[in-house]
């Protein structure tokens, strides 16, 4: 796989006995999106497992949507002092929107705690769609760039659009001529696909699994390096001859002035759940992969991902070369 698309190692993590964290705290998580979708699912699944394992006494969640995630970031920075152990869940769009200058905050304004999951991109059609496979989609778009409409749960130039553009470029198709319709979140984008407003959906696997399992949509290709067990019959783009491996990371952040002992407690809790049977079941059900990046390693991972995203986005015209 190209060097600039590599993620931090996705390796098994062995659980260990907590030496600092206790189950006496309430942990509060701010979610920069509405209910449903990948960020909300990541926060609530992780919280459920933390409580189930007795690592946290009580979890609370607060959905703060709007402004492409900027409203939640500003709210978190201004209100973190109200809570004993606050966390903000976030994902790749944090880097994308910072590069685009959508809002003035970035990952360096936070304390990186841990990257927890990697959610691969997937391209899906309705179950009754006549396009049998990914090659059929590419053939149609080569013939006529406007032949179909592609939907995504993020704005033009954001994550779903970027993944689509990368996939088309590997097939020598100019992505800028494709009809892309953005929706406010993966849920609304899925409804648009099921309702016939769009023909193809570029989205995350985790938020699509329920619709695949229900037989409402068919997945044509996934951006993982190997087949995902939850959708073992769906080929990767790489095995179809298109060299693309990409995943949307999701993880947790603390406020910039987080006390070292609080950071250590969060690190130990999140590291511990990675090796638990309960978390492995979540990964299998959601189609997620484990992302093993914590503390300083997570911060370095974010810096590297930001540089790689700039390399991806500049040729596509999704970010100006002068953007920070």
Check residue 9 and give its pLDDT.
Answer: 38
What is the tens place of the pLDDT at every residue in 178-204? 999 998 778 889 999 999 999 999 999
Check residue 156 and give its pLDDT.
Answer: 83
Q: 215-246: buried (b, 16+ CB within 10 Å) or exposed (e) per residue?
A: ebbbbbbbbbbeebebbeebebbbebebebbb
Q: Distance (Å, rounded) from C-alpha 81 to C-alpha 315?
A: 41
Check residue 245 and give its pLDDT.
Answer: 93
What is the tens place of the pLDDT at every residue in 236-273? 999 999 999 999 999 999 999 999 999 999 999 999 99
Over residues 147-154, mean pLDDT: 92
Q: Distance (Å, rounded) from C-alpha 212 to C-alpha 230?
A: 10
What is the tens place of the pLDDT at every residue in 106-141? 999 999 999 999 999 999 999 999 999 999 999 999
Q: What is the DSSP string of 204-224?
A: ESTTTHHHHHTTSEEEEEE-S
Check residue 32 and give its pLDDT.
Answer: 92
Supply the mean pLDDT for the chain: 88
Over residues 299-309, mean pLDDT: 94
Give the percent of the chain with pLDDT over 70. 91
Gyration radius of the chain over CA positions = 19
Check residue 311 and give its pLDDT.
Answer: 87
**104: pLDDT confidence band, cut at 50, 70 and 90?**
confident
Q: What are phi and psi of 269, to 5 degrees?
A: -60, -50
Check residue 321 and give its pLDDT.
Answer: 64
Q: 45-64: buried (b, 16+ CB within 10 Å) or exposed (e) per residue?
A: bbbebbeebebbeebebbbb
Check residue 87 and give its pLDDT.
Answer: 97
189 in Cβ contact with 152 (< 8 Å): yes
- Among the ranges 40-44, 97-101, 104-108, 308-312, which has the highest mean pLDDT value? 40-44
User: What's the N-to-C CA distance of the chain in angstroms?
Assistant: 27
pTM for the whole thing? 0.83
Over residues 304-312, mean pLDDT: 91
């Amino acid at each position: 796989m190209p060097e600039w698309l590599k993620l931090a190692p996705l390796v098994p993590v062995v659980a260990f006995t907590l030496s600092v964290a206790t189950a006496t705290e309430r942990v509060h998580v701010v979610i920069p999106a509405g209910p449903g979708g990948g960020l909300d699912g990541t926060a609530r699944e992780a919280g459920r497992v933390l409580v189930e394992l007795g690592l946290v006494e009580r979890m609370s969640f607060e959905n703060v949507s709007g402004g492409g995630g900027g409203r939640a970031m500003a709210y978190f920075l201004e209100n973190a002092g109200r809570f004993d152990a606050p966390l903000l869940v976030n994902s790749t769009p944090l880097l994308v929107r910072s590069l685009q200058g959508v809002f003035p905050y970035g990952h360096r304004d936070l304390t990186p705690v841990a990257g927890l999951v990697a959610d691969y991109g997937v391209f899906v059609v309705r179950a009754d769609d006549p396009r049998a496979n990914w090659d059929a989609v590419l053939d149609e778009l080569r013939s006529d760039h406007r032949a179909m409409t592609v939907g995504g749960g993020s704005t033009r130039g954001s994550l779903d659009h970027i993944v689509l553009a990368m996939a088309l470029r590997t097939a020598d198709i100019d992505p800028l001529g494709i009809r892309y319709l953005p929706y406010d979140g993966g849920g609304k984008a899925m409804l648009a696909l099921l309702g016939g407003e769009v023909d193809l959906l570029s989205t995350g696997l985790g938020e699509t699994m329920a619709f695949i399992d229900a037989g409402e949509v068919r997945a044509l290709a996934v951006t993982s390096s190997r087949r995902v067990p939850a959708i073992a019959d769906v080929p990767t783009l790489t095995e179809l001859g298109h060299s693309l491996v990409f995943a949307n990371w999701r993880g947790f952040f603390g406020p910039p002035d987080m006390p070292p002992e609080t950071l250590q407690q969060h690190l130990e809790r999140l590291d511990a759940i990675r090796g638990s049977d309960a978390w492995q079941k979540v990964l299998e059900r959601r189609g997620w992969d484990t992302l093993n990046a914590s503390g300083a390693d997570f911060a370095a991972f974010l810096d590297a991902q930001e540089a790689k995203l700039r390399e991806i986005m500049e040729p596509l015209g999704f970010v100006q070369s002068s953007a920070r």
